[in-house]
Amino acid sequence: MTDYFYVVIIGCALVTLLPRILPFIVVRKVNLPEPFLKWLSFIPVCILTALIVDELLITEEVGTIQLNMNAIIAAVPTLIVALRTKSLSLTVLTGVVAMALVRLFI
Protein backbone atom coordinates (compact mmCIF):
# COMPACT_ATOMS: atom_id res chain seq x y z
CA MET A 1 0.00 0.00 0.00
CA THR A 2 2.70 2.50 0.94
CA ASP A 3 4.79 1.61 -2.15
CA TYR A 4 1.80 2.35 -4.36
CA PHE A 5 1.34 5.70 -2.59
CA TYR A 6 4.95 6.74 -3.24
CA VAL A 7 4.78 5.60 -6.87
CA VAL A 8 1.65 7.72 -7.38
CA ILE A 9 3.28 10.76 -5.73
CA ILE A 10 6.42 10.43 -7.87
CA GLY A 11 4.31 9.86 -10.99
CA CYS A 12 2.22 12.96 -10.27
CA ALA A 13 5.37 15.00 -9.70
CA LEU A 14 6.84 13.87 -13.02
CA VAL A 15 3.63 14.53 -14.93
CA THR A 16 3.47 18.00 -13.39
CA LEU A 17 7.14 18.96 -13.70
CA LEU A 18 8.06 17.57 -17.13
CA PRO A 19 5.68 19.75 -19.19
CA ARG A 20 6.87 22.80 -17.24
CA ILE A 21 10.62 22.15 -17.34
CA LEU A 22 11.11 20.35 -20.66
CA PRO A 23 10.18 23.33 -22.91
CA PHE A 24 12.71 25.54 -21.10
CA ILE A 25 15.44 22.96 -21.56
CA VAL A 26 14.63 22.46 -25.26
CA VAL A 27 14.27 26.18 -26.12
CA ARG A 28 17.22 27.41 -24.04
CA LYS A 29 19.75 27.13 -26.89
CA VAL A 30 17.37 28.27 -29.66
CA ASN A 31 17.18 31.90 -30.76
CA LEU A 32 13.51 32.65 -31.17
CA PRO A 33 12.34 35.38 -33.57
CA GLU A 34 11.47 38.74 -32.02
CA PRO A 35 7.76 38.68 -33.09
CA PHE A 36 7.35 35.29 -31.42
CA LEU A 37 8.96 36.54 -28.20
CA LYS A 38 6.67 39.58 -28.24
CA TRP A 39 3.67 37.29 -28.75
CA LEU A 40 4.80 35.13 -25.82
CA SER A 41 4.97 38.19 -23.57
CA PHE A 42 1.20 38.68 -23.89
CA ILE A 43 0.26 35.17 -22.76
CA PRO A 44 0.41 35.80 -18.97
CA VAL A 45 -1.74 38.94 -19.30
CA CYS A 46 -4.31 37.09 -21.41
CA ILE A 47 -4.49 34.15 -19.03
CA LEU A 48 -4.82 36.41 -15.99
CA THR A 49 -7.53 38.46 -17.70
CA ALA A 50 -9.46 35.32 -18.62
CA LEU A 51 -9.28 34.04 -15.03
CA ILE A 52 -10.39 37.36 -13.55
CA VAL A 53 -13.29 37.91 -15.97
CA ASP A 54 -14.43 34.33 -15.44
CA GLU A 55 -14.57 34.98 -11.69
CA LEU A 56 -16.28 38.37 -11.97
CA LEU A 57 -19.14 37.11 -14.12
CA ILE A 58 -21.68 34.45 -13.23
CA THR A 59 -23.52 32.74 -16.07
CA GLU A 60 -26.94 31.30 -15.40
CA GLU A 61 -28.45 28.29 -17.13
CA VAL A 62 -30.85 30.43 -19.15
CA GLY A 63 -27.98 32.40 -20.69
CA THR A 64 -28.05 35.51 -18.53
CA ILE A 65 -24.87 36.96 -17.12
CA GLN A 66 -24.69 38.48 -13.65
CA LEU A 67 -21.91 40.20 -11.77
CA ASN A 68 -20.31 38.37 -8.87
CA MET A 69 -20.41 41.21 -6.34
CA ASN A 70 -18.14 39.43 -3.83
CA ALA A 71 -15.42 39.10 -6.46
CA ILE A 72 -15.89 42.70 -7.59
CA ILE A 73 -15.57 43.97 -4.00
CA ALA A 74 -12.32 42.01 -3.64
CA ALA A 75 -11.08 43.11 -7.07
CA VAL A 76 -11.29 46.85 -6.32
CA PRO A 77 -8.48 47.03 -3.71
CA THR A 78 -6.51 44.48 -5.71
CA LEU A 79 -6.70 46.63 -8.83
CA ILE A 80 -5.70 49.74 -6.89
CA VAL A 81 -2.65 47.97 -5.44
CA ALA A 82 -1.74 46.58 -8.88
CA LEU A 83 -1.91 49.99 -10.55
CA ARG A 84 0.00 51.80 -7.80
CA THR A 85 2.74 49.30 -7.00
CA LYS A 86 3.05 47.26 -10.21
CA SER A 87 4.15 44.43 -7.91
CA LEU A 88 2.78 41.00 -8.71
CA SER A 89 3.47 39.73 -5.18
CA LEU A 90 1.64 42.59 -3.47
CA THR A 91 -1.23 42.36 -5.95
CA VAL A 92 -1.73 38.63 -5.37
CA LEU A 93 -1.42 39.05 -1.62
CA THR A 94 -3.95 41.89 -1.65
CA GLY A 95 -6.35 39.83 -3.75
CA VAL A 96 -6.12 36.81 -1.47
CA VAL A 97 -6.60 38.89 1.69
CA ALA A 98 -9.43 40.92 0.14
CA MET A 99 -11.31 37.80 -0.97
CA ALA A 100 -10.76 36.18 2.44
CA LEU A 101 -12.18 39.25 4.17
CA VAL A 102 -15.14 39.38 1.80
CA ARG A 103 -15.92 35.71 2.43
CA LEU A 104 -15.50 36.20 6.17
CA PHE A 105 -17.78 39.23 6.50
CA ILE A 106 -20.25 38.92 3.62
Per-residue pLDDT of the chain (106 residues; tens, 9 = 90+): 688 999 999 999 999 999 888 888 888 888 889 999 999 899 988 998 899 899 999 887 777 889 999 999 999 999 999 999 999 899 999 999 999 999 999 9
| Same structural domain, 14 and 46 | no
DSSP 8-state assignment for residue 65: E
| Same structural domain, 5 and 57 | no
Q: Which of 81, 76, 106 is nearest to 92 (CA)?
A: 81
| Same structural domain, 40 and 74 | yes
Cβ-count burial 78-105 (b if 16+ within 10 Å, e if not)? beebbeeeeeeeebeebbeebbeebeee
**Which domain does 4 fall in, by range?**
1-30
- Region of 103 please: left (phi>0), alpha (psi -120 to 50) or beta: alpha
Q: Quote the CA–CA distance of 83 and 76 in Å, as a whole number.
A: 11
Tell me how many domains the chain contains: 2
Q: Within 10 A of 57 (CB to CB), how many other CB atoms are there?
A: 13
| Same structural domain, 39 and 86 | yes
